[in-house]
Structure 1
Amino acid sequence: MDTNPERDPQAVVETRLIHATHRLGTGLLVDAGGRPSVPGEALAQLRDFLVVNLRHHHETEDEWLWPLIAAAAPGTKHALDELAEEHDRLDAALDRLAGTDDPSALREAAVEVRDSVHNHLAHEEPILFPALREHVTPAQWEEFAQRVVATTPPVAGHLMIGLLDEVGTPAEVESVLATMPPPMAELLPALRGQAAADLRVLRGMEP
């Protein structure tokens, strides 16, 4: 993966971290789904969080980010269209995951989503990271990121904070969370505490 935090623009830093949370979160759901000791409520919360956030993430790319990049670099359009098609296939996997509460079926669907997400990101990042560096200005990214934050569905958002804390440095996480509305920022300590407790339960540890 071609990343260098010292030179990367905020667009790449934020995208890299969000992708890392997607990898970690989908893997965690598979692992937790195989632990009989994990309460069904905890599995359902992580499942619902992942379904909503993965869907929202790729919808904002398809609707806002891909057109922005293609307008600046028309040569990227074919590759971006292929990524959008992969999003459509991921949608079908997310539908299956969202539609089951049976533990064995949930884990099977979670494996499909995890594998789809990991494969998709391995394809997307070599295309997206150079495009973000070369064709998206800091102002354009800031506007895009603010739109994403403003439209993110409020489903177990504390889990995103907990996952970010695990995949990023404190400085990186602070830079990502800088766009949070002030009322939410004041709740960060409580949200972090709740996320840590819930993630421990999902890992089969004492809460």
Structure 2
Amino acid sequence: MSYEVELKAHVDDPITLKHDIEQQPGIGEVCCEEKDDIYYALAGQEPLFRLRMERFGPSFQNLSGNVRFTRKYKSLKDGIEVNEEVEFLSSSDQAEYAHAFFLSLGYEVYIRKTKRGYSYDWAFDETLSPLHIELVEIASLGWFLEMEFVLETAERVPYARTRLLEVLSLLGVPQERIEERYYMHLLKDFS
């Protein structure tokens, strides 16, 4: 099990921000990505887990991927998420079977989310895992900057939170742009 320390912020000018990210010293190569998520819940309840079809590549014309199954134990403080997660991968041809299996167990589709954009890894702090950055468009919600550290233990969570806010400032995104709600709740408000 790992701990994700992450934030997401609304972005008004993704082209400029993409340029600014790519100008940072030590930033990794850009990777194009598409992610289609289905969140499952029992009737009338909050979602329990997610099925994600994810595709990555050097361009949007050359993507390949897999299916990721994720169960998160979530917490949120001041717009920064700290999530414990349990997950595993399968080949992309298993998505349809997994979906049918979950529906057969009585789960319902709570919400679907489509994300398309760019991702980077940045060795921003030697004492933490590489910072994962995504600049993505969420269908019907707009553009977001997502950043996360993945930690093995919870002891470094406060320090990782501080470093996320420093990077946000470095990239010129005001803290007021942090979105404190989960995507699934934002999407549910629009459905």
TM-score bin, normalised by smaller chain: under 0.3
Q: Whose helix fraction is larger, Structure 1's or Structure 2's?
A: 1
For normalisation by structure 1, the TM-score amounts to 0.25
Q: Whose strand fraction is larger, Structure 1's or Structure 2's?
A: 2
